[in-house]
Amino acid sequence: MTVQDNIVSVRYMVDDVEAAIGFYTTYLGFELLSSAIPAFADVKRGNLRLLLSGPASSAGRPMPDGRQPRPGGWNRIHLIVDDISTEVARLRAEGLTFRNDIVKGPGGSQILFDDPAGNPIELFQPAAL
């Protein structure tokens, strides 16, 4: 097993790589690993490496059938937090908006918000055992 085996990589299509870097490093505690603005950057938080691919990246090229990769959708990264109410209040104070209110279920509490390109992020607080 190598160091890379311990890292999970997720690719997000973004409209603006520089704005995405600022968002993830400023609000969510990611660190910048590398960048090739305007095409690409990768940021890391714990064992999650998030690949931020802009329209100028190789990942942004059209598919053979003409479909164009783009941001948004419902698949999302899932960030575990200790106190979801505190995190939501902090992010709202920074001007971020959420797709929904905190939803509580048997496994814990969750809420969704978007990065600058419209990609969803889930904050999740596990239920107390």
C-alpha closest to that of 82 among 62, 63, 109, 59: 109
pLDDT tens-digit readout, 82-120: 999 999 999 999 999 999 999 998 899 999 999 999 999
pLDDT above 60 for 72:
yes
Question: Tokens standing for 75?
Answer: 């698949």
DSSP state of 127: P
Neighbour tally for 35: CB within 10 Å = 16
- Domain range annotation of the chain: 3-56+71-126
Average pLDDT over the chain, rounded to an integer? 93
Measure the CA–CA gap between 84 and 76, rounded to whole angstroms: 17
Q: What are the residues whose beta carbons fall under 8 Å from the beta carbon of 113, sequence distance 6 or more?
A: 91, 96, 97, 98, 99, 120, 121, 123
Stretch 38-52: mean pLDDT: 96
CATH T-level fold of 3-56+71-126: 2,3-Dihydroxybiphenyl 1,2-Dioxygenase; domain 1 (3.10.180)
